[in-house]
Structure 1
Amino acid sequence: MKKYKNYYVPSFFLILSILGIMAAKVSSNFILGELYNRFVRNGIFLLALILPIMAGMGINFSITIGAIAGQIGMLLVIDMGLEPKLGFVVAIIFSIILSIIFGNIIGTILNKAKGKEMIASMVIGFLGTNLYQLIFMVGYGTVIKPFNPDILLTRGIGVKSMLDAGNYRNLYRNILPIKIGDAEGSLIPIIIIVLVGVIVYLITKSKIGYHIKAVGENMVLSEKLGINVDRTRRTSIVLSTLLASLAQLMYIQNLGVLNVYTGHLNLDIFSAAALLAGGATFRKANIRNAFIGIFLFHTLFIVSPLAGQNIFKNPALGEYFRSFIAYGTIVFALMINLKQTEN
């Protein structure tokens, strides 16, 4: 009976998804098309959460800082006016450099907050967002001189809230084209996400992965075995931040628009909720949980506003279902996790 406890949350969401689809009365093509886009935009974010959980640090809500690194990289290449293929490569390089720097800072802070990592990472995410917005609202155009003044607001200070990244949307549209439901796209982003999943899996099976698992299970014993606990925990955060930065680049590339100040908001909550919906806990998570969770959670996320609208005959009320589902998932998973821990 104990082994089936891991399937309580996924089973619950599977039932809710089926009921939601029935209530929403939408076509399978619509759902499949939306799932393709959401898988491409959010897949790597879920993978970015796995290593910190394995290290015993719980949900890393500071992946928003990794997303900020990705946004800065994309904003800089848009400002520089680089050709899309070269620009995307340069954006990746910028993002990797920034995410490694940010990840080390976050990891060092979280090592000072052992046992309270989730709360600390959430606060770090809020602080990082405020600093980022301050720099690009006030610093850009004053202290930082842009290459292209057109990206600034009419007053000449601060970046516009939305920048066009449409040129990046067609980077590989004609390479291995596919049609999934109502969506037309490419097989390339799916291959990239699967490869990232394989890389994360290989990391978990490597020496670094062994150290991360050992630290997550028992920090005191790991220290006695000669494992540098703080460095291992910091490494898991650096890798998580780096993956989040690459995930945000894929999100922007698929969307074709850079929402400068809001593009990274709530992705930590939605990613955590999706991972938990896939059967992960605050102590254990794997690749399977990520891929199951993204389909279950986002299926419900897609149909819930339409289902709420049809049930209550109120379009505005239907939209509240999105936030209710995201935060409700975390609360529900927390209750299940606490109950399993007590048992």
Structure 2
Amino acid sequence: MNKNIRRFLSRYMVPILFIIICGAGIIIAKPPLSYLTGELARRMVRNSFLVLSLIIPILAGMGINFGIPLGAMAGQIGLIFVTDWGVTGVAGIMLAALVGTPIAILLGNFSGRIMNRARGREMITSMILSFFTLGLYMLFLLYFCGSLIPFRNKKIILSQGYGIKNALKLDVAKGLDNLLNFKVNFAIMGEKVVFEIPVVTILVIAVLCVFIIWFKKTKIGHDMRAVGQDQKVSGNAGLNTDKIRIQSIVISTVLACYGQIIYLQNIGTLNTYAGQDQAALYAAASLLVGGASVSKASIPNAIFGTALFHLMFIVMPQAGKALTGDAMIGEYFRTFLSYGVVTIALIMHAYERQKEIEENRILSRASANRQKVKAKAE
């Protein structure tokens, strides 16, 4: 029993820690229930798609895809062109996705090929690759847009006549959320709570969940699972491991493109050159907080982790202000935890991996010894 408890605590240490932190934050801050639930619901709708985009590369043994900012950049380019063309609402969102998809496919293919040359170091490679691509993204937006590529909407162009402004107000703001939006009023513990339910956005997230479940059952899904478990055995069985790994990154990058579009249409503004910076970190932290690891992740991990991680984002500044009188203390604390969660999860994965290798080595040695004893006895 003690061994099972220790294993459970080791497996779910990060979620348990975050539940304790969020619980303590709520007790200290005492935020209004209506504010807490409303803000959490908005953040769940805004961020869930991006977090779910990380699952398929983990299935293929690629670890956490810290290269999803490449997909986010593709989505942002699509939104910038749509803003220039003046297309609004759902049509603008669909057109932005249409523009961003081929860019995301190209970037995902490029990223996957690079990662195949850095086996065993995919996560750090994808992270550095996103920084490299950011330079190309800035070059494209700062110098090509408005000069080589004509733009009609001069409001989004810098005063020098080329280059995109730092911040843009999106014409597609709330285009998906407001397509079918219900308000639900009810009371909890005597306090009135108002929920806004963007039905279409939630349906899009649900469709992605169904797609992931279906995808795992397809042949390519089984192939990815096999490659994720053992590349050598999969290669010997006739699977093209390089191609399968690239496919997982391409799918993740395209989904990240769509996720960033959903995220930005919910916010309504685009931070042109830094909007994608935290996409990978916050999505990865949310997934890990939900109890996932870099080798195993599921839809419940993504949904529960997104809720728990963003609950901390809501309560920590208020808790910091209640304790010290300065909300920035809570900001610093949650930033520290964001990076800390990823670090702890990676350390624990390395420890568990090393432990598993050592256990397999001991079992192999014991099996070899038994075979030797049996051979001598015969």
TM-score normalized by structure 2?
0.86
**Offset at 1:166?**
4.6
Choose the corresponding residue for 1:132, options 129, 133, 137. Answer: 137
Residues 153-302 of structure 1 aligned to structure 2 (within 5 Å): 153-173=158-178, 175-179=180-184, 181=193, 184-302=196-314
C-alpha distance in 2, partners of 1:341/1:170? 45
- One-letter identity of the residue aligned with 1:15: I
- For 2:93, give the aligned amino acid: F
Secondary structure of 2:18 counterpart: helix
AA matched with 2:123 = M
Q: CA deviation at 1:330?
A: 0.9
Kindly provide the CA deviation profile for residues 113-167 of structure 1, in whole angstroms up to 9, marking residues without a partner as x: 1111111100111111121112212222222221222210122121111111154
Partner of 1:84: 89
- Asked which structure has the greater RCO (Cα within 8 Å, sep 6+), the reply is 1
Q: Which residue of 1 aligns with 2:64?
A: 59
Shift of residue 64, structure 1, vs aligned partner: 0.2
| 8 Å Cα contact 1:62-1:122 kept in structure 2 | yes
Q: Is the 8 A contact 2:70 2:133 kept in 1?
A: yes
Identify unmatched segments of 5+ residues in structure 1: none
1:337 offset after TM fit, Å?
2.4
1:149 equivalent in alignment to 2:154: yes
Deviates more, 1:2-11 or 1:310-319: 2-11
Structure 2 counterpart SS, 1:184: strand
Identify the range of structure 1 (272-281 vs 255-264) with the bigger mean alpha-carbon deviation. Answer: 255-264
Q: Distance in 1 between matches of 2:258 and 2:249?
A: 14
- Pick one of 27, 34, 38 that aligns with 2:32: 27
Shift of 1:75: 0.7
What is the CA–CA distance in structure 2 between the aligned matches of 1:121 and 1:172, rounded to whole Å?
31
Amino acid at match of 2:232: V
Contact 2:46 2:266 in 1 (8 A): yes
Q: Which moved more, 1:45-54 or 1:133-142?
A: 133-142
User: Does the 8 Å CA contact 1:273/1:330 hold for their aligned counterparts?
Assistant: yes
Structure 1 counterpart SS, 2:65: coil
Aligned residues: 343
Q: How far apart are residue 66 of structure 1 and its match?
A: 0.3
Q: 5+ unaligned residues in a row in structure 2: which ranges? A: 186-192, 356-378
Give the deviation of 1:3 after TM superposition. 5.2
Task: Indicate whether 1:319 and 2:343 are aligned.
Answer: no
Query: Structure 1 stretches (4+) deviating beyond 6 angstroms?
Result: none
In 2: Cα distance, 1:290 partner to 1:15 partner: 19
Aligned with 1:107 (options 94, 98, 112): 112
- What is the percentage of aligned positions where both structures have the same residue? 38
Determine the structure 1 residue equivalent to 2:54. Answer: 49
User: Is 1:14 matched up with 2:19?
Assistant: yes
Q: 1:48-90: per-residue Cα shift (whole Å, max 9, x none)?
A: 1111112111111100000001001111111111243322221
For the structure 1 residues 54 and 172, does the alpha-carbon distance in structure 2 shift closer, same or farther, using more than 3 Å as the test? closer
Rg (Cα) greater in structure:
2
Counterpart Cα distance in 2 of 1:125 and 1:178:
39
**Secondary structure of 2:183's match?**
strand
In 1: Cα distance, 2:320 partner to 2:138 partner: 34
Residue of structure 2 equivalent to 1:96: 101
Letter in 2 for 1:65: L
Do the aligned residues in 1 keep the contact of 2:173 with 2:269 (CA within 8 Å)?
no
> Which residue identity is paired with 1:47?
L
Q: Following TM superposition, by how much is the alpha carbon of 1:7 offset from its aligned partner in structure 2, in angstroms?
A: 2.2
> What letter is aligned with 2:64?
I
Aligned to 2:250, the other structure's residue is in SS state helix
What is the CA-CA distance between 1:4 and the residue it aligns to? 5.5
Deviation at 1:33, TM superposition (A): 1.2
SS of aligned partner of 1:285: coil
The range that moved more, 315-324 or 231-240, is 315-324
- Maintained 8 Å contact 2:92/2:172: no
Paired with 1:66 and 1:90, the residues of 2 have a C-alpha distance of: 16
Contact kept, 8 Å, 1:173 with 1:185, in 2: the verdict is no
**Counterpart contact for 1:66–1:244, Cα < 8 Å:** yes
In 2, are the aligned partners of 1:301 and 1:325 still within 8 Å (CA)?
Answer: no
Q: Which residue of 1 aligns with 2:122?
A: 117
Higher mean C-alpha deviation, range 249-258 or range 86-95:
86-95
TM-score under structure 1 length normalisation: 0.95
1:109 partner amino acid: I
Q: Distance in 2 between matches of 1:320 and 1:172?
A: 31
Tell me by how many angstroms 1:8 deviates.
2.2
Give 1:338 deviation, angstroms.
3.1
Alignment check: 8 A CA contact 1:55 1:216 kept: yes
Given residue 259 of structure 2, which amino acid in structure 1 is its aligned partner? A
* Paired amino acid for 2:25: G
Q: Secondary structure at the match of 1:340?
A: helix
What is the RMSD of the two structures over their aligned residues, measured on CA atoms?
1.7
* Cα displacement (A) at 1:171: 4.3
